[in-house]
Amino acid sequence: MLRAPSAVESVSPVIDGGPPPGQWWRDAVLYQVYIRSFLDSTGDGVGDLAGVRAGLPYLSKLGVDGIWLSPFYPSPQHDHGYDVTDYCAVDGVYGDLAEFDRLVTDTHRLGMRVVIDIVPNHCSSEHLWFRAALASPPNSSARAMFHFADGRGTDGELPPNNWRAMFGGPAWSRVTEADGSPGQWYLHLFTPEQPDLNWRDPRVGHYFEQVLRFWLDRGVDGFRIDVATGLFRHPELPDSPDPEADERTRDSVNPLAWNQPEVHHVWRDWRAICEAYTSRDGRERLLVGEVSVRTAADQARYVRPDELHQAFFFDLLSAPWNADTFRRTIGEALRDIAGTGSTVTWVLNNHDQVRSVTRYGGEAGVFGATRARAAALLMLALPGAAYIYQGEELGLPEVVDLPDEALTDPIFRRTGSRRYVRDGCRVPLPWSGHASPFGFTEEGSTAQPWLPQPAWFAEHTTDRALLDTSSFWHLYRDALSLRARLPQLGEGDLRWLDSPPEVLAFIRGDGLLCTVNFGEEAVPAPLQGTPLLSSAPCPPGVLPGNTAAWWIDTTGVLGSVGEP
């Protein structure tokens, strides 16, 4: 029987000229680097590109196939870089283009890919285009790059329609015209500092194609597309049938503001650009979209063969800890998304969501860590690609008690509610030591990490995790190492097995069995002997509660049980 590999034995391949070609993205595991919280090389309390470069050996040892970098473009940081003033440059706080180039080179040398974030739905209110629009009169060509409209009411004092912004408040703000009079309104589906671009103006699309080429020429392997269901609005900007829904759910549900048919043309054009690069050198470039839609079937429309390669599948992330829901969610994704020829892109955490350890723990927090470990093993056994959000491999819980004055998320400012505030999953990573800054920021620097780190981060430092073979880090590393070695994992088929109601069991390929016990009571193990890998210790013959395990079925008996 195969066994989990012993502690740290990973060897990083050094590949001259970058990683090998092929459709690498189909079952790749990428690591999301939220740059400002990863590692600070300059001592200003904010992570940067040189910090990411310094962390590459750590990521290579973990065994991921590549990194997705959160936005590093010049920005006033109202939404931490998702408000861009220049799409072809690096914000001084994160470094410069030369540092970016070094990062790409080093990442490739370690055999990993680099995917960067691109933000086409909106720019910063400090972007030159928007400043020009503000300085220009109504109906000018400068205003046509955005959605400017006259207000309703007797003096235009009411917004042009009833749409609400995702981060609270109306989706419209009124400007003051050059002569000092109250003027038109502009649309922003996030904050007022993020005016929506008007993609019906061909200059916008043309510009973004140049942006893609700029970064592709610098060697990036792909783009994570922010708000990929956005870009176009209903041309007449009519009232929404349910204006409060966007705010209430924080999902893109306004049918007039999101998910318009025209957006698919953009993804086809972008795919063609990527394919042109591939045809030159055989290296596939990836487009992975943030596609928040209601169903897997809706999402499938974004990953048709000539559109995006992948789209994050968020339903697993939002599924409650329950075998039935997980099974249904996984089944729908495999049926609808894999059915397009793409692969499902699984995700349990990102920089916008409460961390899984806290989410699965509920109010009491009792089983959070055990369940998050089990969920990770489940995710990494599923067919397709997966994304790991920094700190997930350390089992970091959400920091739920940041003081109000420390919160920077515009959602807090705009809604006054802490409910959806995202700072708690963005606290700078703990690397070493017993007290803040836990090695995050340069030794001896006086600046504090940009968000305060709690004292209990000491239990989660990377140094500690690497030494403790029972840590989250080792579980992730062992799972990734097995994924790289076992042909059954990654892409391929999944067959459900009959199992007790609180247990999920499926077979991958010829005989890799994954079982997850969602209940609290132990159940009999499906096979004799020790599992290949498990999220918690498994006594002989037993699969404990809240535990996932991988087994190799050498008998071939299980592979033939259950419906295909």
- Sequence-separated contacts (24+) of 430-434 with Cβ below 8 Å: 430/394, 430/396, 430/457, 430/458, 430/460, 430/461, 430/462, 431/39, 431/461, 431/462, 431/463, 432/461, 432/462, 432/463, 433/458, 433/461, 433/463, 434/458
Assign 33 to helix, strand or coil: strand
Question: Considering beta carbons, is residue 227 or 513 the nearer one to ligand NOJ?
Answer: 227
Q: How far is the CB of 366 from ligand NOJ (least distance, A)?
A: 30
Closest chain position to ligand NOJ (CB): 82
Q: Which of residues 272-301 bind ligand NOJ (CB under 6 A)?
A: 290
Q: In the annotation, is 226 catalytic?
A: yes
The answer to whether 190 contacts ligand NOJ (rule: CB under 6 A) is yes
Q: Which of residues 216-235 bind ligand NOJ (CB under 6 A)?
A: 226-227
Among 38, 82, 215, 321, binds ligand NOJ (CB under 6 A): 82
Q: Where are the beta strands (DSSP E) in 43-121?
A: 66-69, 113-118
Q: How far is the CB of 71 from ligand NOJ (least distance, A)?
A: 8
The answer to whether 39 contacts ligand NOJ (rule: CB under 6 A) is no
The edge-to-edge listing of strands for the beta sheet with 182-187 is 148-149, 182-187, 172-176
Assign 505 to helix, strand or coil: strand
Q: In the annotation, is 336 catalytic?
A: no
Question: Considering beta carbons, is residue 121 or 370 the nearer one to ligand NOJ?
Answer: 121
Q: Are 351 and 32 in contact (CB under 8 A)?
A: yes
Pairing of strands 148-149, 182-187: antiparallel
Helices and strands counted in the chain (H then E) = 14, 18
Question: Considering beta carbons, is residue 79 or 423 the nearer one to ligand NOJ?
Answer: 79
Of 290, 315, 393, 478, which one is the catalytic site residue? 290
Question: Considering beta carbons, is residue 225 or 552 the nearer one to ligand NOJ?
Answer: 225
Q: Which of residues 252-271 bind ligand NOJ (CB under 6 A)?
A: none
The answer to whether 94 contacts ligand NOJ (rule: CB under 6 A) is no
Please, is 218 exposed, middle or buried when counting C-beta atoms within 10 Å of its C-beta (0-12, 13-18, 19+)?
Answer: middle
The answer to whether 352 contacts ligand NOJ (rule: CB under 6 A) is yes
Of 226, 307, 336, 409, which one is the catalytic site residue? 226
Question: Considering beta carbons, is residue 24 or 167 the nearer one to ligand NOJ?
Answer: 167
Q: How far is the CB of 85 from ligand NOJ (least distance, A)?
A: 14
Pairing of strands 385-389, 29-33: parallel
Pairing of strands 222-225, 182-187: unpaired
The answer to whether 79 contacts ligand NOJ (rule: CB under 6 A) is yes
Question: Considering beta carbons, is residue 34 or 438 the nearer one to ligand NOJ?
Answer: 34
Q: Are 170 and 205 in contact (CB under 8 A)?
A: no
Catalog residues that contact ligand NOJ under the rule CB under 6 A.
79, 82, 119, 190, 226-227, 290, 351-352
* Residues assigned a catalytic role: 226, 290
